[in-house]
Amino acid sequence: MVLCALGPILYQILSWTRGYILLPLLVLFLIGWECGVAGFGTVSFFCFMLGGQLGTKQIDPLEVIQRVKYLAGVIAIGTVFALPLLSGWAGYIVVHNIYILTGSASALLVMQYIGRRSPEVIQRLSDLNKYVFFIYAVHTVLLVNWARGIVFRVPFLSEDGSGAVLGYLLIGVLTLAFSFASYAIIKKIAPRTLAILSGGR
């Protein structure tokens, strides 16, 4: 909300710097620097300014990252397997943030590819819109209290285990499974309550 209120000022900054302000913001994002001012988190500020630049210049981000799709994919895969092994390293946050950038870009490209090759898959995913708000509302409870607790009880899958990557994937799968199951149960026994919890969807 703070960034939206300051939108006109930030737009002027983008104009004055011709977008080059994104370079130091990218560096700050990668090193994980936080200014400590409410509403000005490094990630949110960088993404807000990046979105503003793309919007004002009418740049299609998918067209841009298409040029480096293989590089982004290789880096994303490499970092996702490296992160569990680097948890105690001082530069962990840098690798983590590189993964966020390349992983997000790769995910967008994969979905674009699927949309072009199999439009029916995208339609099926669109049909899951009714679950979005509910999953957003309950995933933290299910993730922290159930999924992590179940998966990390297995030494091989724990954060310090050799199967940490598989463990994280299982946490995501279990969280979604618990969310869908909870949705189905509440829909059956208290549909009106579910409508309220789901934002009227």
When divided into structural domains, the chain yields a total of 2
**CA separation (Å) from 66 to 29, 72, 108, 112, 161?**
22, 9, 10, 10, 35
Q: Give me Rg for the CA atoms of the chain.
A: 20
Residues 6+ apart with CB under 8 A from 192: none
**One digit per residue, pLDDT tens: the chain, 201 residues?**
566 666 677 777 878 888 788 888 888 888 877 766 655 677 777 777 787 777 778 878 888 888 888 898 899 889 888 877 777 787 888 888 888 888 888 888 888 888 888 888 778 877 777 777 777 777 777 766 777 777 777 777 776 666 667 777 788 888 888 888 888 888 888 888 777 766 654
Boundary of a domain, candidates 119, 150, 168? 119
Same domain, 78 and 31: yes
Same domain, 92 and 146: no
Boundary of a domain, candidates 88, 119, 150? 119
Q: What is the pTM of this model?
A: 0.64
Would you state the pLDDT for residue 91? 80
Same domain, 96 and 146: no
Boundary of a domain, candidates 98, 119, 140? 119
Could you list the residue range(s) of the whole structural domain that residue 134 is in? 128-197
DSSP class per residue in 121-172 = HHHHHHTTHHHHHHHHHHHHHIIIIIIHHHHTTSGGGSTTSTTHHHHHHHHH
Same domain, 113 and 21: yes
Same domain, 19 and 59: yes
Specify the DSSP class assigned to residue 89.
S
Same domain, 18 and 60: yes
**CA separation (Å) from 87 to 58, 78, 90, 151?**
39, 15, 8, 18
Would you state the pLDDT for residue 74? 92
Same domain, 67 and 20: yes
Same domain, 96 and 16: yes
Same domain, 112 and 151: no
Specify the DSSP class assigned to residue 86.
G
Alpha helices, H only, the chain: 2-5, 7-17, 22-31, 42-56, 61-66, 69-82, 92-117, 119-126, 129-141, 148-151, 164-189, 191-197
Contact 56, 11 (CB under 8 A): yes
Same domain, 114 and 152: no
Same domain, 13 and 72: yes
Compute the distance between CA of residue 201 and CA of residue 193 in angstroms, rounded to an integer: 11
Same domain, 10 and 77: yes
